[in-house]
Amino acid sequence: MTDNGNTAVLYDSRMAKALINPLRARVLSILDERPASPSRIADELGLPVANVAYHVKILHQLDCIEQIEARPVRGAIEHVYRGKRRLVVEPEQWKVLPTTARHALGVRFAQVTQRDLMAALQGEAFEQRPDPHLTHTPLILDERGWENVRAILVDTLDRVLAEETAAAQRMSESHADEPRIRTRVTLMQYGAQ
């Protein structure tokens, strides 16, 4: 596991188990972006608090999120959580997941990616930067080529996460009102038809 400030990169099957459920995947996506309580997430998603709280509990048990605050709100205690792991499943863990779980995980990953992209396009966030990077590259590889490309992507992820940590440090030291840029980076390598 690689530590990246507040968020670690998970290399085991717990994250895969967490994301098999679509509501749990959505809750984790929200908590990866910002701290929130089950009640606030429930309000945002238009769902009963009990449903969201159940999935927050599972995510907490799987060590995918952490509680960062407990504060009194209208006579009750509101528990606030944040994501602490990013999804990275190594081949060794992927192999031991049941086929149905692998399929469900792939579907959830595609859905989250599509949802984020569509939200950016519909909300005009996609147009705010004049310099996005978009690549879709079909390849034909041998086994060594597959392994080399995978290693390149793992190295790229490590470098991207290191830059996020460096940017957080720069922003914490900066007193200027430099804008914070929200971005998404999606790396995928998969067998294709």
Span 37-88, pLDDT tens digits: 999 999 999 999 999 999 999 999 988 899 999 988 888 899 999 988 666 6
Q: Rounded mean pLDDT of 136-159? A: 94
Domain count, the chain: 1
Confidence of residue 34 (pLDDT cuts 50, 70, 90): confident
What is the reported pLDDT for 58?
93
User: What integer pLDDT is reported at residue 175 of this predicted model?
Assistant: 64
Q: How far is CA 146 from the centre of its chain?
A: 24
Query: Residue 109 — left, alpha, or beta (φ > 0 → left; ψ -120 to 50 → alpha)?
Result: alpha
Residue 148 phi/psi, 5-degree rounding, is: -65, -45
| Structural domain includes residue 21 | yes
- Domain assignment present for residue 70? The answer is yes
CB-CB neighbours of 118 under 10 Å: 11
pTM (whole model) above 0.75 = no
Is the per-residue pLDDT at 117 higher than 50?
A: yes
Tell whether 24 is covered by a domain.
yes
**Helix runs in 12-142, H state only:** 13-19, 22-33, 38-45, 49-61, 91-96, 99-122
C-alpha closest to that of 24 among 111, 134, 91: 111
For the chain, the average pLDDT equals: 83
Q: Give pLDDT, residue 13.
A: 61
Report which listed range, 18-22, 130-134, 149-153, 163-167, is most confident.
149-153
Distance CA 160, CA 78 (A): 34
Residue 163 included in any domain: no
Tell me whether residue 190 is in a domain: no
* Residue 188 phi, psi dihedral angles, 5° rounding: -140, 140
Distance CA 19, CA 108 (A): 7
Place of tokens 């998603």: 45
**64 and 14 Cβ atoms separated by less than 8 Å:** yes
Is 61 among the domain residues? yes
State the residue range of the domain holding 37.
2-133
CA distance linking residue 50 with residue 47, whole number of Å: 8
The arithmetic mean of pLDDT across residues 18-30, rounded, is 81
Using the 8-state DSSP alphabet, how is residue 127 labeled? G
Residue 69 resides in a domain: yes
Q: Which of 83-87, 162-166, 179-183 has the highest mean pLDDT?
A: 162-166
Residue 151 lies in a domain: no
Could you tell me which residues are beta bridge partners of residue 52? Answer: none
Give the CATH number, domain containing residue 107. Answer: 1.10.10.10
